[in-house]
């Protein structure tokens, strides 16, 4: 079966997490992703957080599946020549260098357009145009400047970053959507374009409900926040709301049986309006169905703390899985707090291909997250990340059409670093 992006060639100048997340997705959809790395060094994450000495880290392997790696020093004359051949040959150039680095490499938008008018140039930067456009940015910085940290955590605690990598992986996702949109546009315009995603903007996009609340706050207190029920006045910006649900259906994290010793013996419980009567029955408070303080969502808002305390008395009598079973039967929305250990052992996630075991020549088998987006006519097979420069020779020959003699000359020039077998030919 052919893949959705079969035939699309991606010139991948990405590193660390945000850019590689994007190009990995494109590779999973069938694009040929050619990752350009500095000879002898490669993507810095190959060596970061290494759990096995001298073996590509899980940080790297889990973000670079299904790609090919070419080592190329794009600051040597021969490297520059090969780089431009790649620009002419590929459909999309993706990069997340620090601001200015691409231009310093000679890859200005004007030069790229002149060399290949169909080329799409996709970039991740920390910030969009403005005072901070020249700044380097990493994940947690993006979470802070995008509004996530100020609205995450508990009201009385520090601003909090999330374990979900919304700055890096979130921006990579946004960029991937921009790229396929630009590829679609190109089918009728015939031309490439620039696709720019700033990490600050992507985080803010994921935090849009908090900007919604900022404007609601200007018209009065946020009645669904626990803080309202506690009688604590609001300030002039959206406060951290702990585990309060961000939507119109109030929810909280509640203790379940075993919480004293198990840090994840909790359940997220949502008091969805349409199933309120069932909630009252299950927790043993049938009179709350008609009681004026509890009968309607609006009446319940000032009493949420009391309501969740009562529900928690019920959830504490069950394990999180027992509670979920009872609640699911009644169509009451809820979810157990799953640890990474529990997720890693989840049979359904493995069966669906969301969790995949991959074999690696120097690491051996490891578990990774596969493609979370399932296309029925473009199934995804997750293959291991490339070793540094593993595909240098085949890319020079098969993609760029260099003869064996030319490949050897390129290798001898030092542009590719040491590539076994190449210089000798």
Site string for ligand CAO, 362-401 (x = CB under 6 A): ----------------------------------------
Residues 72 to 131 in contact with ligand CAO, rule: CB under 6 A = 72-75, 96-98, 101, 104-105, 124-126
Contacts of 139 (CB under 8 A, 6+ apart): 17, 161, 165, 167, 168
Query: Is residue 137 involved in binding ligand CAO (CB under 6 A)?
Result: yes
Question: Strand pairing of 266-270 and 251-255?
Answer: antiparallel
Which listed residue (38, 186, 300, 391) binds ligand CAO by CB under 6 A? Answer: 38
Which listed residue (12, 32, 43, 139) binds ligand CAO by CB under 6 A? Answer: 139
Which listed residue (12, 17, 35, 396) binds ligand CAO by CB under 6 A? Answer: 17
Nearer to ligand CAO, 74 or 392 (CB): 74
**What's the closest the beta carbon of residue 149 comes to ligand CAO, in angstroms?**
15
Nearer to ligand CAO, 3 or 125 (CB): 125
Strand partners, 94: 12, 122
| DSSP strands (E only) in 131-263 | 194-198, 251-255
| Alpha-helix runs per DSSP H in 29-123 | 58-61, 77-89, 101-104, 109-115
Strand partners, 36: 70
Stretch that binds ligand CAO, among 134-142, 143-151, 152-160, 251-259 (CB under 6 A): 134-142
Secondary-structure breakdown of the chain: helix, strand, coil percentages, each rounded to the nearest 5: 40, 10, 50
Nearer to ligand CAO, 17 or 315 (CB): 17
Distance between CA 363 and CA 53 in Å, rounded? 10
Nearer to ligand CAO, 300 or 391 (CB): 391
Question: Strand pairing of 92-95 and 67-71?
Answer: unpaired
Q: Which of 73, 168, 201, 213 is catalytic?
A: 168
Distance between CA 198 and CA 126 in Å, rounded? 5
Query: Is residue 136 involved in binding ligand CAO (CB under 6 A)?
Result: yes
262 noted as active-site residue? no
**What's the closest the beta carbon of residue 126 comes to ligand CAO, in angstroms?**
5
**What's the closest the beta carbon of residue 42 comes to ligand CAO, in angstroms?**
9
Nearer to ligand CAO, 1 or 131 (CB): 131
Contacts of 296 (CB under 8 A, 6+ apart): none
**Under a CB-based contact definition with an 8 Å cutoff, are residues 96 and 53 in contact?**
no
Distance between CA 264 and CA 163 in Å, rounded? 15
Query: In the numeric block, which tokens belong to residue 380?
Result: 């995804």
Nearer to ligand CAO, 13 or 276 (CB): 13
Of 394, 392, 395, the closest CA to residue 411 belongs to 392
Site string for ligand CAO, 156-175 (x = CB under 6 A): ------------x-------
Tell me which residues touch ligand CAO (CB under 6 A).
16-19, 36, 38, 72-75, 96-98, 101, 104-105, 124-126, 136-139, 168
Residues marked as catalytic: 168
């Amino acid at each position: 079966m052919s893949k959705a992006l079969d035939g699309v060639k991606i010139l991948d100048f990405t590193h660390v997490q945000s850019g590689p997340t994007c190009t990995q997705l494109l590779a999973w959809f069938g694009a040929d992703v050619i990752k350009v790395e500095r000879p002898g060094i490669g993507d810095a994450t190959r060596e970061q957080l290494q759990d096995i000495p001298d073996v590509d880290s899980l940080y790297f392997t889990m973000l670079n599946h299904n790609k090919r790696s070419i080592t190329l020093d794009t600051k040597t004359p021969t490297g520059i020549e090969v780089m431009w051949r790649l620009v002419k040959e590929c459909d999309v150039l993706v990069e997340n260098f620090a601001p200015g680095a691409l231009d310093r490499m000679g890859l200005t938008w004007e030069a790229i357009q002149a060399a290949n008018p169909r080329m799409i140039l996709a970039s991740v930067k920390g910030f969009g145009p403005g005072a901070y456009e020249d700044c380097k940015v990493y994940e947690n910085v993006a979470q802070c400047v995008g509004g996530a940290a100020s609205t995450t955590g508990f009201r009385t605690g520090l601003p909090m970053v999330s374990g979900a990598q919304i700055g890096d992986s979130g921006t990579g996702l946004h960029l991937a959507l921009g790229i396929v949109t630009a590829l679609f546009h190109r089918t009728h315009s015939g031309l490439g374009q620039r696709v720019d995603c700033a990490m600050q903007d992507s985080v803010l996009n994921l935090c849009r409900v908090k900007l919604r609340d900022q404007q609601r706050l200007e018209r009065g207190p946020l009645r669904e926040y626990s803080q309202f029920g506690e009688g604590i006045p609001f300030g002039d910006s959206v406060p951290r709301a702990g585990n309060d649900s961000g939507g119109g259906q109030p929810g909280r994290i509640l203790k379940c049986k075993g919480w004293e010793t198990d840090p994840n013996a909790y359940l997220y419980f949502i008091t969805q309006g349409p199933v309120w009567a069932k909630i009252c029955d299950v927790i043993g408070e049938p009179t709350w169905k008609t009681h004026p303080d509890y009968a309607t969502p609006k009446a319940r808002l000032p009493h949420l703390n009391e309501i969740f305390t009562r529900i928690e008395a019920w959830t504490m009598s069950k394990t999180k899985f027992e509670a979920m079973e009872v609640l699911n039967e009644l169509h009451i929305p809820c979810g157990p707090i799953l640890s990474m250990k529990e997720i890693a052992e989840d049979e359904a996630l493995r069966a669906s291909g969301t969790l995949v075991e991959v074999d690696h020549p120097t690491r051996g088998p490891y578990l990774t997250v596969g493609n979370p987006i399932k296309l029925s006519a473009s199934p995804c097979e997750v293959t291991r990340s490339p070793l540094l420069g593993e595909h240098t020779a085949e890319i020079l020959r098969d993609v760029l059409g260099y003869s064996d003699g030319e490949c050897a000359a390129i290798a001898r020039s030092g542009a590719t670093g040491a590539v076994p077998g190449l210089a000798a030919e």
